[in-house]
């Protein structure tokens, strides 16, 4: 087994080396110190200077990176690549008390694990507007983070009918919808039908999640019943293609079992093009059925909503270019990436230029809708965009980034990545107006780019300078596992608050005066209204009876930024953190009689160690 694995990787590496040798362009990167020489040293100096953010200075960009199956979002500054914050989303995080207080615990529900893949910043007219960040999760959920305070405010789902939400969140250019789709088909509604009926009785689902333009509140929009393919990635159309969603799919063979063989039979799979405005209209006209509480449209009964664009082979990423007319689809088992022309797609639809259908969904003729097959290299996955029509495609097998030009389709440069790049993210690189400047390769393996810590090697992402003709590697950074997609936004677009203003705190259990702090009892329910302010938690002691249901509501009455307090209760698995101006509650059952200490867990002042008290259980 072990030797088989090694040889597979050896093959990948040989391929990568051969490809690197074959390319005309010598990728530039800071040479290692061992290479010596004046010019080399100055290259390193240039790279160092470009990433060095001096003490007191701030980064130019925020990068929001998915944390994969850690369930979290990690925030980095660019160009320093410093990890500056962790936003807990689908997984408890004691550092901020997330998943311990009543509210976030309720939001997480039964699941304390999530698999985050694609962060999606809210947009206005196709540009990031700095309001919210939406993130998908494989267990059929979507979360909204408010960028006013970098906190998770809503988790929607698990959404009915849809299994394995990977092609998500990808909001529309004016944040009307976020996308969801099933990677795993199954019977809809879910019921125990054997896998032998997969091809006929299992269904895929593509869903539009409605977003309230004022509050950002997400609600179930609609779903489309799709053939049982694996929907993999998506993107929203913009400009001329605004109003459409594009989704790659693999396993259009409708195969089961060993997919690495059974799903790689066809030369072409599909990109599904969904006219979401038409879907919205059809749903409003009552053409949907309600399944599992969601409006579901069957395109066999309602034609004109979905079309299939053939795309080779086992496509992964699909990315709409800034001008909205080019749709780049990358077949991960190919050496080219395909560029489709949206105008041609529209013409083909009008002329019924179809080659067949899948469960009633028309398949467009490949030759009629493609503009180019760009020879980017082996294993193309994702494409990001820069200024002046530059496009950057990640190559997993080649372990490199290819730079090419939209319109001329010329590949002009390749930069090696260490190793096996997955996603890549350019500064505002999926908006209508990319910034250029920086690109980050989010690598799947790191192979010794950091100090050795054992069999699980630290993940590595690489910062690349894209201001010049040749891409230049600037920096290797540890990124929290498991990095998938990331988005990079100009720092001045994000305007976080300093404190929660007192006037905005409408919590029914908030107390703003230590004189009002105290304990009330209602039958077996005890409520402790507690005030946290440097350097006391008031009341400093309280008594309850064994078996009581106890709610501790802590208000941090500080109005100074960064003055957080914690409430940790020993032996109770409780730690909540309260930001200045916030009230949070935690509810638990007083167990075995005895004395239990509580204390402030967030270092807040010179007398932080004194910020402690006792709960006596009688
Ligand atoms: S995927 S390495 Cu989960 Cu976005 Cu492409
Ligand atoms: Cu309050 Cu430490």
Q: Are 563 and 604 in contact (CB under 8 A)?
A: yes
Cα–ligand 2 centroid distance for 560 (angstroms): 13
Tell me which residue has its CA closest to atom 1 in ligand 1.
Answer: 484
Cβ-proximal residues to 281 (8 Å cutoff; 6+ apart), any chain:
none
Closest-approaching ligand to the CA atom of 135: 1
Q: Residue 141: how many CA atoms within 13 Å on its side-chain side?
A: 24
Q: 117 C-alpha vs ligand 1 centroid, how far in Å? A: 7
Which of the listed residues 165, 382, 424, 444 should we mutate to test ligand 1's pocket, taking the one with most ligand atoms within 8 A of CB? 382
Nearest Cα to Cα of residue 167 among 219, 204, 213, 220: 204
Ligand 2 mean position to 611 CA, how many Å?
6
Please give the distance, rounded to the nearest whole angstrom, from the Cα atom of residue 116 to the centre of ligand 1.
Answer: 10
**Mean pLDDT of all residues belonging to the chain:** 93
Question: What SS3 state is found at 426?
Answer: strand
What pLDDT shows up at residue 447? 85
Tell me the β-bridge partners of 205: 225
Q: What is the DSSP string of 231-268?
A: EEEEEE--GGGTTEEEEEEE-TT---S-HHHHTS-SSE
Contact in structure between 323 and 387 (CB atoms under 8 Å): no
Between CA 475 and CA 51 the distance in angstroms is 7
Ligand 1: which of 114, 233, 441 to mutate, most ligand atoms within 8 Å of CB?
233
Ligand nearest to the CA of 69: 1
Distance 137 CA to ligand 1 centre (A): 12
Q: Is 117 in the pocket of ligand 1 (CB under 6 A)?
A: yes
Report the pocket of ligand 2 as residue ranges, CB < 6 Å.
565, 600, 602-604, 608, 611
- Atom 1 in ligand 2: residue holding the nearest Cα: 565
Residue 533 CA to ligand 2 centre (angstroms): 8
Q: Given the CA of residue 422, which atom of ligand 1 is nearest to it?
A: 2
- Pick the closest to residue 288 from 406, 414, 163, 161 (CA basis): 161
| Ligand 1 nearest-atom number relative to CA 68 | 3
User: Can you point out the beta strands (E) in 3-118?
Assistant: 61-66, 72-78, 83-88
Whole-number pLDDT of residue 128: 98
Where is 369: in which H helix or E strand?
Answer: helix 366-369
Q: How far is the CA of 484 from the centre of ligand 1 (A)?
A: 6
* Torsion sign (Cα): 586, 481, 113, 236: positive
CB distance 298 to 282 below 8 Å = no
For residue 457, the 8-state DSSP code is P
Ligand nearest to the CA of 441: 1
Query: Residue 602 CA: which ligand 2 atom is closest?
Result: 2
Give the dihedral of Cα atoms 466, 471, 476, 481; nearest 10 deg: 70
Q: Which two tokens stand for residue 297?
A: 């449209």
Cβ-contact 234, 246 below 8 angstroms: yes
What does the block give as tokens for 407? 């319109």
| Ligand of minimum distance to the alpha carbon of 601 | 2
Structure tokens at 445: 């393996």
How does pLDDT run across 377-403, given as a tens digit for each residue? 999 999 999 999 999 999 999 999 999
144 lines ligand 1 (CB under 6 A): no
pLDDT at 361: 98
Q: For residue 85, give the nearest of 426, 494, 473, 454 by alpha carbon.
A: 494
322 contacts 240 by C-beta, under 8 angstroms: no
- 382 CA from centroid of ligand 1 (Å): 8
Query: With a 6 A CB cut-off, is 332 part of the ligand 1 pocket?
Result: no
What is the 498 CA–ligand 1 centroid distance (Å)? Answer: 35
What is the per-residue pLDDT for 33? 47
Ligand 1 touching residue 316 (CB < 6 A) = yes
pLDDT of residue 426: 98
**Whole-number Å distance between alpha carbons of 319 and 430:** 8
Q: How far apart are CA 277 and CA 282, in angstroms?
A: 9
CA distances from residue 368 to 189, 235, 408, 464 in whole angstroms, order as listed: 37, 22, 19, 36
d(C-alpha 340, C-alpha 329), whole Å: 8
Q: Which atom of ligand 2 is nearest to the CA of 600?
A: 2
Strand order in the sheet with 337-341: 315-320, 326-331, 337-341, 370-374
207, 222 contact by CB (below 8 A)? yes
Ligand nearest to the CA of 319: 1
Distance (Å, whole) CA 489 – CA 482: 21
Q: Whose atoms come closest to the Cα of 613: which ligand?
A: 2
> What atom in ligand 2 is closest to the CA of residue 535?
1
Predicted structure pTM score: 0.93
Q: Give the neighbor-by-neighbor strand order of the sheet with 400-405.
A: 380-385, 390-395, 400-405, 411-416
Q: Which atom of ligand 1 is nearest to the CA of 316?
A: 5
The CB of 422 under 6 Å from ligand 1? The reply is yes
- Cβ neighbours of 221 (radius 10 Å): 20
How remote is the CA of residue 396 from the centroid of ligand 1, in Å? 11
Strand partners, 207: 180, 223
Does ligand 1 lie within 6 Å of residue 429's CB atom?
no
**Could you read off the pLDDT of 477-535 as tens digits, one per residue?**
999 999 999 999 999 999 999 999 999 999 999 999 999 999 999 999 999 999 999 99
Q: How far is the CA of 540 from the centre of ligand 2 (A)?
A: 13
Q: Note the ligand closest to the C-alpha atom of 136.
A: 1
Q: Which residue's alpha carbon is at the smallest distance from atom 3 of ligand 1?
A: 117
Count CB atoms within 10 A of the CB of residue 549.
Answer: 15
Question: 3-state class of 347 per DSSP?
Answer: helix
Which class for 245: exposed (0-12), middle (13-18), buried (19 or more C-beta within 10 A)? buried
Ligand nearest to the CA of 231: 1
Task: Kindly state if the Cβ of 444 falls inside 6 Å of ligand 1.
Answer: no
Cβ–Cβ < 8 Å for 102, 94: no
Tokens of 90: 């689908």
How many whole angstroms from 437 Cα to the centroid of ligand 1? 23
Atom of ligand 2 nearest to the CA of 564: 1
Helix, strand, coil percent content, the chain, rounded in steps of 5: 15, 40, 40
Atom of ligand 2 minimally distant from the CA of 566: 1
The widest CA-to-CA distance across the chain, in whole angstroms, is 81
Distance 219 CA to ligand 1 centre (A): 25
* Cα angle for residues 132, 205, 392 (degrees, 5° grid): 55
All residue ranges of the chain with pLDDT < 70 are: 1-41
Looking from the CA of residue 118, the nearest atom of ligand 1 is: 4
Q: How many angstroms separate the alpha carbon of residue 535 from the centre of ligand 2? A: 6
Q: In sequence order, what are the beta bridge partners of 511?
A: none
């Amino acid at each position: 087994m072990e030797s088989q694995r090694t040889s597979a990787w050896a093959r990948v590496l040989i391929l990568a080396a051969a490809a690197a040798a074959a390319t005309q362009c010598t990728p530039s990167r800071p040479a290692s110190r061992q290479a010596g020489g004046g010019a080399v040293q100055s290259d390193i100096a240039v790279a160092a200077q470009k990433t060095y953010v001096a003490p007191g200075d701030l980064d130019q960009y925020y990068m929001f990176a998915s944390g994969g199956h850690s369930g979290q979002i990690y925030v980095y500054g660019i160009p320093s690549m410093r990890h500056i914050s962790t936003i807990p989303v689908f997984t408890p995080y004691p550092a901020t008390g997330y998943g311990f207080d009543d509210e976030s615990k309720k939001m997480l529900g039964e699941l304390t694990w999530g698999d985050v893949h694609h962060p999606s910043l809210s947009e206005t007219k196709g540009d990031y507007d700095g309001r919210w960040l939406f993130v998908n999760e494989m267990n059929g959920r979507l979360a909204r983070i408010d960028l006013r305070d970098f906190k998770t405010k809503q988790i929607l789902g698990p959404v009915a009918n849809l299994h394995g939400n990977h092609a998500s969140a990808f909001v529309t250019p004016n944040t009307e919808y976020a996308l969801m789709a099933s990677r795993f088909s199954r019977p809809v509604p879910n019921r125990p039908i054997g896998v032998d009926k997969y091809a006929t009785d299992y269904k895929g689902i593509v869903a539009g999640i409605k977003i309230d333009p004022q509050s950002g509140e997400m609600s179930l929009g609609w779903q489309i019943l799709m053939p049982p393919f694996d929907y993999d990635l998506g993107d929203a159309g913009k400009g001329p293609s605004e109003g459409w969603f594009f989704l790659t799919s693999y396993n259009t063979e409708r195969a089961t079992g060993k997919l690495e063989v059974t799903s790689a039979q066809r030369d072409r799979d599909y990109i599904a093009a969904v006219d979401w405005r038409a879907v919205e209209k059809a749903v409003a006209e009552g053409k949907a059925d309600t399944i599992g509480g969601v409006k579901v449209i069957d395109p066999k009964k309602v034609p004109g909503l979905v079309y299939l664009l053939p795309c080779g082979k086992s496509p992964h990423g699909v990315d709409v270019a800034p001008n909205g007319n080019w749709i780049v689809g990358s077949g991960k088992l190919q050496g080219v990436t395909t560029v489709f022309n949206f105008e041609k797609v529209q013409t083909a639809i009008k002329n019924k230029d179809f080659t067949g259908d899948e469960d009633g969904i028309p398949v467009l003729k490949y030759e009629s809708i493609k503009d180019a097959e760009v020879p980017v290299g082996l294993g193309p996955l994702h494409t990001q965009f820069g200024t002046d029509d530059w496009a950057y495609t990640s190559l997993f097998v080649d372990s490199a980034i290819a730079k090419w030009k939209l319109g001329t389709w010329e590949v002009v440069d390749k930069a090696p990545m260490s190793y096996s790049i997955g996603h890549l993210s350019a500064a505002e690189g999926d908006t209508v107006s990319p910034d250029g400047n920086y690109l980050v390769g989010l690598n799947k393996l790191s192979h010794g780019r950091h100090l050795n810590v054992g069999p699980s090697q630290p993940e590595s992402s690489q910062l690349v300078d894209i201001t010049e003709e040749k891409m230049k590697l600037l920096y290797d950074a540890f990124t929290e596992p498991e990095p998938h997609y990331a988005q990079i936004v100009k720092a001045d677009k994000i305007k976080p608050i300093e404190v929660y203003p007192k006037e905005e705190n409408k919590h029914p259990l908030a107390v703003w005066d230590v004189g009002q702090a105290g304990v009330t009892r209602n039958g077996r329910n005890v409520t402790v209204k507690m005030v946290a302010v440097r350097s006391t938690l008031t009341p400093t002691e309280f008594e309850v009876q064994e078996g009581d249901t106890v709610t501790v509501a802590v208000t941090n009455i500080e109005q100074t930024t960064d003055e957080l307090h914690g409430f940790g209760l020993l032996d109770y698995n409780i730690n909540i953190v309260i930001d200045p101006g916030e009230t949070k509650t935690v509810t638990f059952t007083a167990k075995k009689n005895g004395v239990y200490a509580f204390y402030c867990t967030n270092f807040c002042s010179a007398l932080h160690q004194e910020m402690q008290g006792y709960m006596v259980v009688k």
